[in-house]
């Protein structure tokens, strides 16, 4: 009788074991250790946190990824003191490690400084790790885009002046008859040349010639539309009158509208439409365009970045009008609960603003959570440290407030230094 029951149960057990194996196939268990030497300005809690992060980082590396250029030990000096601060890109670690078990922990003295040692057993999820790597690579592309814009910005004012002083009049573009295939190929070459051109009038000319050769291609329209917006940005930065750059915005609007008529699902055309609506102070239409981009391509980080900035600006306007609840609703759109921590640096202003709203609504715990989210990705953010210290003081959490003030003081915040005993 017992044998029959065992035989009936065995397939069920085998099924659940197989299911568990499939569920954890992407996970691996690693035993690692970490060491950290405490700086003069470190607190015990901070040192223990840093040695744990070092061990977790090593676990991620042993699981198959070296986190390049993400950890730096920096010792800085301030009057009469020195301290060691660790700037660690912990976003990859947080995404990869699902469980940490402490196996051994001890302290010692090395060169008159407290030294911390820890040994842990960590479970690393390789799927989450790969997703974090892809996100990091996407951020690098985004950063490179901004660096390129900064390099070009120095040339914009001179080119804008050249464009304004050029003789006005009607120019006629003459094209020799070409076959349709040859026209498209010639347009493609002109678009590639316009990508590489740094001189904005030349970029406009190349894109316009390409658009004339291939009227059904969206690429020349997108390049020309973005060039018009750069000219508008240069004129705005030069404190020009609105009438002097509104023509550029209108030209960009027509190019992006035409591109969307040709290809309604072109993400770059929709991005340009959102940019134009942002210039025209139409936040609802701009947000709709950026959201369409993300529906088509969830990893289109430029659109997500613009959407974060747009919602933060709208929420700030509502706060200035003392409309705190509507402002909070707007911020929830760019701070959804499942957003990866890799986006926290770009959401910093939104987190700071929401923490201020929570504070005014007498919700200190939520305000502290938002400030802590910032400090998890950037432990050296003085503004967040000072704001959190103030909330700790109001909540009579003196030790926590003192830790934040000491850290902010060591980072050069004189306001924090003045509050220390």
CA dihedral sign of residues 159, 175, 193, 258: positive
Q: What is the pLDDT of residue 99?
A: 80
**Residue range 144-159: mean pLDDT, rounded:** 61
Task: Please report how many Cα atoms fall inside a 13 Å half-sphere around the Cα of residue 134, on the Cβ side.
Answer: 11
* Between residues 85 and 265, the one the model is more confident about: 265
**Residue range 156-167: mean pLDDT, rounded:** 61
Q: What is the pLDDT of residue 388?
A: 92
Please classify residue 259 by burial: count the beta carbons closer than 10 Å to its beta carbon, then call 0-12 exposed, 13-18 middle and 19+ buried: buried
* Between residues 169 and 265, the one the model is more confident about: 265
Question: CA-to-CA distance for 32 and 316, rounded, in angstroms?
Answer: 45
Assign 1 a pLDDT band (cuts: 50, 70, 90): very low
Question: CA-to-CA distance for 71 and 58, rounded, in angstroms?
Answer: 11
DSSP 395: T
Question: Residue 305 pLDDT more than 60?
Answer: yes
Question: Residue 34 pLDDT more than 70?
Answer: yes
CB atoms within 10 A of CB 257: 15
Element containing residue 88 per DSSP (H, E): strand 81-88
**Summary mean pLDDT of the chain:** 76
Assign 77 a pLDDT band (cuts: 50, 70, 90): very low
Element containing residue 410 per DSSP (H, E): helix 398-410
User: Each residue of 242-299: pLDDT tens digit?
Assistant: 777 788 888 889 989 999 999 999 999 999 999 999 988 899 999 999 999 989 988 8
Question: Residue 80 pLDDT more than 50?
Answer: no
* Between residues 15 and 57, the one the model is more confident about: 57
* Between residues 81 and 4, the one the model is more confident about: 4
Share of the chain above pLDDT 70, in %: 72
CB atoms within 10 A of CB 2: 6
Q: What is the pLDDT of residue 273?
A: 92
* Between residues 200 and 359, the one the model is more confident about: 359
194 closest CA partner among 149, 226, 216, 158: 226
* Between residues 161 and 192, the one the model is more confident about: 192
Assign 181 a pLDDT band (cuts: 50, 70, 90): confident
Q: What is the pLDDT of residue 23?
A: 38
Give one DSSP letter per residue of 44-55, joined into a string: HHHHHHHHHHHH
**Residue range 313-319: mean pLDDT, rounded:** 92
Question: Who contacts 286 (Cβ-Cβ below 8 Å, separation ≥6)?
Answer: 274, 275, 277, 278, 306, 310
Assign 131 a pLDDT band (cuts: 50, 70, 90): low
Lowest mean pLDDT among 54-68, 91-105, 215-229, 251-265: 54-68
Q: Is there a contact between 258 and 290 (Cβ–Cβ < 8 Å)?
A: no
Phi (first) and psi of residue 152, to 5 degrees: -75, -25
Question: Residue 185 pLDDT more than 70?
Answer: yes
Q: What is the pLDDT of residue 162?
A: 65
Assign 418 a pLDDT band (cuts: 50, 70, 90): confident
Share of the chain above pLDDT 90, in %: 16
Placement of tokens 């911390």 in the chain: 116
Q: What is the pLDDT of residue 311?
A: 92
**Residue range 117-146: mean pLDDT, rounded:** 71
Question: Residue 405 pLDDT more than 50?
Answer: yes
Q: What is the pLDDT of residue 361?
A: 92
**Range 176-182 contact pairs with CB under 8 angstroms and sequence separation of 24 or more:** 178/213
Please classify residue 124 by burial: count the beta carbons closer than 10 Å to its beta carbon, then call 0-12 exposed, 13-18 middle and 19+ buried: buried
Q: Is 180 left (phi over 0), alpha (psi -120 to 50) or beta?
A: alpha
**Domain layout of the chain by residue ranges:** 23-131
Question: CA-to-CA distance for 31 and 104, rounded, in angstroms?
Answer: 11
**Residue range 96-108: mean pLDDT, rounded:** 83
User: Each residue of 321-356: pLDDT tens digit?
Assistant: 999 999 999 998 888 877 777 778 888 899 999 999
């Amino acid at each position: 009788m017992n044998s029959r029951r065992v035989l009936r149960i065995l397939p069920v057990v085998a099924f659940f074991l197989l299911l568990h194996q499939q569920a954890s196939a992407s996970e691996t268990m690693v035993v690692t250790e970490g060491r950290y030497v405490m700086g003069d300005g470190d607190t015990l809690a901070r040192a223990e946190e840093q040695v744990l992060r070092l061990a977790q980082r090593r676990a991620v590396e042993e699981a198959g990824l070296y986190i390049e250029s993400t950890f730096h030990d920096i010792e800085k000096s301030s009057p009469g003191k020195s301290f060691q601060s660790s700037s660690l890109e912990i976003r990859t670690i947080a995404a990869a490690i699902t469980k940490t078990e402490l196996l051994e922990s001890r302290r010692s003295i090395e060169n008159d400084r407290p030294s911390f040692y820890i040994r842990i057993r960590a479970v690393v999820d390789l799927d989450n790790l790969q997703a974090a790597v892809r996100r990091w690579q996407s951020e690098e592309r985004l950063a490179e885009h901004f660096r390129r814009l900064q390099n070009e910005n120095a040339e914009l004012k001179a080119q804008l002046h050249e464009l304004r002083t050029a003789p006005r009049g009607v120019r006629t573009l003459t094209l020799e008859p070409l076959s349709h295939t040859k026209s498209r190929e010639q347009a493609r070459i002109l678009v590639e040349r316009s990508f590489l051109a740094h001189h904005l009038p030349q970029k406009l000319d190349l894109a316009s010639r390409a658009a004339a050769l291939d009227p059904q291609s969206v690429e020349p329209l997108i390049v020309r539309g973005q060039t018009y917006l750069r000219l508008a940005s240069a004129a705005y930065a030069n404190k020009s009158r609105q009438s002097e750059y509104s023509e550029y915005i209108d030209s960009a609007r027509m190019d992006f509208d035409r591109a969307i008529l040709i290809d309604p699902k072109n993400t770059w055309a929709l991005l340009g439409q959102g940019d134009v609506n942002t210039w025209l102070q139409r936040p609802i239409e701009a947000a709709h365009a950026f959201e369409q981009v993300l529906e088509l391509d969830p990893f289109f980080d430029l659109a997500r970045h613009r959407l974060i900035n747009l919602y933060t600006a709208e929420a700030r306007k509502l706060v200035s009008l003392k409309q705190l609840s509507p402002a909070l609703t707007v911020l929830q759109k760019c701070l959804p609960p499942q957003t990866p921590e890799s986006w926290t640096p770009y959401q910093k202003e939104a987190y700071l603003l929401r923490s201020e709203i929570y504070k005014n609504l007498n919700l200190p715990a939520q305000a502290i959570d938002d400030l802590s989210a910032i400090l998890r990705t950037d432990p050296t953010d003085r503004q967040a440290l000072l704001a959190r210290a103030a909330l700790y003081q109001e909540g009579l959490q003196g030790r926590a407030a003192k830790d934040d003030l000491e850290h902010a003081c060591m980072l050069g915040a004189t306001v924090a230094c003045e509050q220390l005993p």
